């Protein structure tokens, strides 16, 4: 089924990019486990490699299983096309290497995923790209100029769950002739579609909610067809960060239930946030669904649900460790978006390479814990978290 914007989101989640296999009539998209494809004649081969004819000839560039995944993502994001990569960082590096050149400037709203921040500061900067961090949308507007090429945002932010106004970022990019990129990993198109707010390019770590089951690693970028053709050429032909057909198959299977899973994630996170609001063992609670959250109004405007993540600050790393070590349903692991609940201490795991000053700037405090709420029964998750907090209090590890 090709993209049909008149179909409901849940219908497209099941059917977009999917059809009966033309060779066999198979109902599930087959795993095309092949590195190369016969093209029949020297003349057709020349046309395929020159881009004069569409078709499959080498799986590093395109593969039918991977292509079905790309079409599904493009449909759900409401964008013309998508290109898949071997990881979220494969998508980040391909985007940067395709669109940036020496002398260009990039602005991002901090905090951003630690890997993206590291790539921009440590790799892109080596090639003559100037990187600016902005604390918010006002900071972005103050930093834009004639050399601004990309404005990169993530919302909700990782791991402090701040909210960025996508429409305002899109306007800032348009005003200076730059491209806007939104990392939509945390929200997914089930809750937010950045293109509807004017964003040019949307990326995901498909490893998280798109796959949803913690069994595959991948990344994807959706956007205009002309930019995506360039991205495919550089990111796949030259960089080679190609997604495999087995992983694409798992993502296709996972995305069919994305709307249902996201509803369950949101319900669990909301129940947990309500139970934790005002808890004496917490120094802070970060969840955009709370009316006290500074980004609540913007989140309510651009999200159809508030997501499956929340972060809590227990004041000290010792208290955070005691809390994490007492959880029974939240597996201590990096990543997020699985059907199982996950927990981590960002300061010592996902963001540990940033350094103390960058951590402080981005709100990654010593006592911060990120909770990725799965699809388990919410009351069981609430009981687990409240029990771990009582353990912290009993040990007299109070917020600092």
Those residues with Cβ within 8 angstroms of residue 320's Cβ, 6 or more apart along the chain or in another chain: 314, 345, 366, 367, 368, 369
Q: How far apart are the first and last CA of the chain?
A: 55
Best CA proximity match to 263, nearest among 138, 108, 357, 373? 373
Q: Is 83 helix (H, G, I), strand (E, B) or coil?
A: strand
Exactly one of 183, 200, 313, 338 is catalytic; which is it? Answer: 183
Q: Give yes or no: 208 in active site.
A: yes
383: exposed, middle or buried (Cβ count in 10 Å: 0-12, 13-18, 19+): middle
| Beta-strand runs (E) in 90-211 | 105-109, 130-134, 148-154, 179-183, 201-205
Q: Give yes or no: 171 in active site.
A: no
Exactly one of 10, 60, 171, 256 is catalytic; which is it? Answer: 60
d(CA 207, CA 29): 19
Task: Confirm if 104 and 223 have CB atoms less than 8 A apart.
Answer: no
Q: Give yes or no: 283 in active site.
A: no
Q: Give yes or no: 183 in active site.
A: yes
Best CA proximity match to 162, nearest among 202, 131, 196, 135? 135
Angle at 160 between CA 257 and CA 384, to 5 degrees: 65
Exactly one of 32, 113, 209, 287 is catalytic; which is it? Answer: 113
Task: Confirm if 329 and 380 have CB atoms less than 8 A apart.
Answer: yes
The DSSP annotation for 329-354 comes to SSEE-S----SS-EEE-GGGTTTGGG
Exactly one of 208, 232, 261, 370 is catalytic; which is it? Answer: 208
d(CA 178, CA 146): 9
Q: Would you name the residues annotated as active-site residues?
A: 60, 113, 183, 208
């Amino acid at each position: 089924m090709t993209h049909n914007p008149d179909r409901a989101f849940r219908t497209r989640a099941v059917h977009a990019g999917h059809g009966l296999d033309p060779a066999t009539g198979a109902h599930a998209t087959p795993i095309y486990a092949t590195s190369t494809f016969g093209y029949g004649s020297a003349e057709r081969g020349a046309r395929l490699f020159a881009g004069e004819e569409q078709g499959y000839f080498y799986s590093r560039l395109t593969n039918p299983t991977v292509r079905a995944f790309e079409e599904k993502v493009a449909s759900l994001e409401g964008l013309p096309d998508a290109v898949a990569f071997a990881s979220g960082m494969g998508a980040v590096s391909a985007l940067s290497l395709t669109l940036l050149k020496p002398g260009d400037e990039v602005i991002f709203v901090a905090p951003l995923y630690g890997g993206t921040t590291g790539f921009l500061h440590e790799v892109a900067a080596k090639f003559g790209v100037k990187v600016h961090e902005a604390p918010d949308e006002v900071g972005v507007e103050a930093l834009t100029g004639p050399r601004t090429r990309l404005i990169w945002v993530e919302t909700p932010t990782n791991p402090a769950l701040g909210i960025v106004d996508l429409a305002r970022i899109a306007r800032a990019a348009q005003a200076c002739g730059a491209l806007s990129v939104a990392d939509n990993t945390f929200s997914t198109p089930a809750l937010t579609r950045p293109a509807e707010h004017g964003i040019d390019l949307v990326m995901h770590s498909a490893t998280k909610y798109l796959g949803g089951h913690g069994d595959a690693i991948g990344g994807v970028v959706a956007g205009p067809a002309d930019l995506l053709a360039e991205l495919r050429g550089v990111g796949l032909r030259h960089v080679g960060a190609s997604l495999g057909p087995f992983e694409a198959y798992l993502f296709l299977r996972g995305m069919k239930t994305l709307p249902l899973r996201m509803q369950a994630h949101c319900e669990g996170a909301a129940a947990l946030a309500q139970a934790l609001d005002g808890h004496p063992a917490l120094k802070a609670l970060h969840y955009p669904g709370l009316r006290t959250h500074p980004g609540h109004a913007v989140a309510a405007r651009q999200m159809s649900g508030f997501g499956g993540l929340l972060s809590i600050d227990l004041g000290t790393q010792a208290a955070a460790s005691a809390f994490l070590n007492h959880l029974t349903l939240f597996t201590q692991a990096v990543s997020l978006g699985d059907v199982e609940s996950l927990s981590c201490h960002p300061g010592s795991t996902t963001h540990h390479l940033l350094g103390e000053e960058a951590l402080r700037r981005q709100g990654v405090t010593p006592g911060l814990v990120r909770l990725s709420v799965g699809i388990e029964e919410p009351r069981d998750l609430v009981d687990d978290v409240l029990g771990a907090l009582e353990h912290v209090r009993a040990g007299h590890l109070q917020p600092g």
